[in-house]
Amino acid sequence: MSPQNFLDSGQKYRMTHQRQVILEEVQKVNTHPTADEVYEMVRKRLPRISLGTVYRNLEFLSTSGLIQKIGPPSNQMRFDGKTENHYHIRCVSCGKVEDAPVESLDNVERAMRSHSDYSILGHRLEFLGICPACRGKETSFHKNV
């Protein structure tokens, strides 16, 4: 990947200094920081950077595949009347959530119990995909991811 034009899309994006620093800071730690924490880290090197820029660039970097977003696939909570443990699949295009036809991963959770020093309370598995209704409809993804 060229330093200037690292995306193979047609657009020309620059790896600016701010972007570079944010990327380095996120890669440097293994604490999976929040946007605010990244802001604090970056601010030590770039005191005049703004929180908005950090958000913009974290979004940019994760869209580019250089870093990963963890957690909230959507920022809106959803509720489920079924209380048994089961999994979901979320359409990245329309944000719809349905149940996933997969049996419970009890063995995986059991493995975690022995490999980890955490007290394991449970786990959550979610698939991401495009639902039949959305497939073909859109070229780019909806914001609701």
**Of the candidates 113, 115, 82, the residue with the CA atom closest to the CA atom of residue 98:** 82
| Residue 143: CB minimum distance to DNA, A | 7
Q: Which is nearer to DNA, 56 or 105 (CB)?
A: 56
Contact present, 99 and 88 (Cβ < 8 Å): yes
**Of the candidates 71, 20, 72, the residue with the CA atom closest to the CA atom of residue 49:** 20
| Residue 6: CB minimum distance to DNA, A | 10
Q: Is position 119 an interface residue for its own copies (rule: CB under 8 A)?
A: yes
Contact present, 92 and 141 (Cβ < 8 Å): yes
Expressed in angstroms, the distance from the first to the final Cα of the chain is 27
Query: Hey, what are 134's tokens?
Result: 């959305």
Binding residue for its own copies, selected from 16, 20, 27, 50, defined by CB under 8 A: 27
| Residue 79: CB minimum distance to DNA, A | 9
Interacting span for its own copies (CB under 8 A) from 4-12, 13-21, 44-52, 98-106: 98-106
Contact present, 19 and 61 (Cβ < 8 Å): yes
Q: Is position 82 an interface residue for DNA (rule: CB under 7 A)?
A: no
Contact present, 25 and 49 (Cβ < 8 Å): no
Q: Is position 13 an interface residue for DNA (rule: CB under 7 A)?
A: yes
Q: Which is nearer to DNA, 17 or 32 (CB)?
A: 17
Residues that bind DNA (CB under 7 A): 4, 11-14, 16-19, 34-36, 46, 48-53, 55-57, 59, 72, 75-77, 143
